[in-house]
Chains A and B, each alone.
Chain A
Amino acid sequence: MRLTCPLCGPRDRREFTYYGAEEYLHRPGPDAAPDLSQGGAWDNYLHLRDNPAGPTRDLWYHDQGCAAWLLVSRNTLTHDITGVELVAARKGARDEA
């Protein structure tokens, strides 16, 4: 498997570390109630994941490369990789924690 890092270009999978689903980018804001009950914002954020057969988006870290975090769009059925973008440069990136 190869990913095309927007900074480094095409690289082998072993340069990257997988983290998890794109959901990790959508951290509940500081005003979200610290509620971990089922269906709550934090419960969703931390625990609830789809397991799609098809297109998915997940987070990879280019740790043997430029140290950028990447948002990878890929297809779990065909193994197609349809997009790799920088987490820090993505559209609508929230800059207030």
Chain B
Amino acid sequence: MAELIAKAALDGQGPVTRAGLVLSVLPPAPVWSIAPFPGEDLTPALAALGLDFPAPGRSNRAGDLRLIWTGRDQAFLLGGRPPEGLAAAVTDQSGAWAGFSLSGIGGEAALARLVTPDLRLAAFPVGHVVRTGLNHIPAIILREGETEFHIRVFRSMARSAWAELVEVLEHLAARAAAVQGGASAPARTG
């Protein structure tokens, strides 16, 4: 008999605070993929949970459960297990994705160093989600709040993604310090 201890990605990694932004690892939680078969409607089955299959780029929530769009005809259920018998392909993706939270004013500016889509609040309101690349790393980015993003990447790439994000924060912090350390523009008269 084996005794197995579960270990999440970036286990033990503490938060990093730079340039007014806090980067931290999200606690492990269940993640299940739900992909309705062509022509199938999951609305009644999901309505029982208080959820709706999200339109592209959207998410919805009910209590601790959250359903986020993650790709063509595919969504991830966060925080719980989907009901049996859905007319959908269902897989357990818990542990497969490492999650980070980036919070604070100016998270968009930090992500704009790594991510190409438009994440300005007007274009990417709270609850919206994009599937994109974080530099070269496949990522799912959810706007959790006006000043908080949740970023999910493949577990195997979690260290690279973390390092990329920290590097961006270091650059932003150095920029902020340089501007404070001395006026960047010459004084103007007149």
Contacts and interface: CB of A to CB of B under 8 A. Distances in A.
A68 interface: yes
Nearest to A7: B56
Contacts of A8: 56-57, 117, 130-132
Interface residues of A, number: 15
B132 A67 contact: no
A14 B131 contact: no
A66 B131 contact: yes
A11 B131 CA distance: 11
Contact of A66 (B56, B116, B118, B133): B56
A43 interface: no
Interface string B126-167: 000011110000100000000000000000000000000000
A14 B133 contact: yes
B188 interface: no
A10 B116 CA distance: 10
Interface in A28-55: none
A9 B131 CA distance: 11
A64 interface: yes
Contacts of A64: 131-133, 138
B132 A65 contact: yes
A83 B131 CA distance: 21
B72 A68 contact: yes
Interface in A19-35: none
A15 interface: yes
A84 to B, nearest CB: 14
A14 B57 CA distance: 19
A15 B116 contact: yes
B17 to A, nearest CB: 29
A14 B72 contact: no
A12 B130 CA distance: 13
A7 B130 CA distance: 10
A8 B100 CA distance: 22
Contacts of A7: 56-57, 72
B71 interface: yes
Interface of A: 7-12, 14-15, 64-68, 86, 88
Please give me the 9 A-B residue pairs with the lowest Cβ-Cβ distance, nearest first: A64-B133, A7-B56, A12-B116, A68-B72, A66-B71, A66-B72, A67-B71, A65-B131, A67-B72
12 contacts: A8-B56, A8-B131, A10-B118, A12-B116, A14-B133, A15-B132, A64-B138, A65-B132, A66-B71, A67-B71, A68-B71, A86-B72
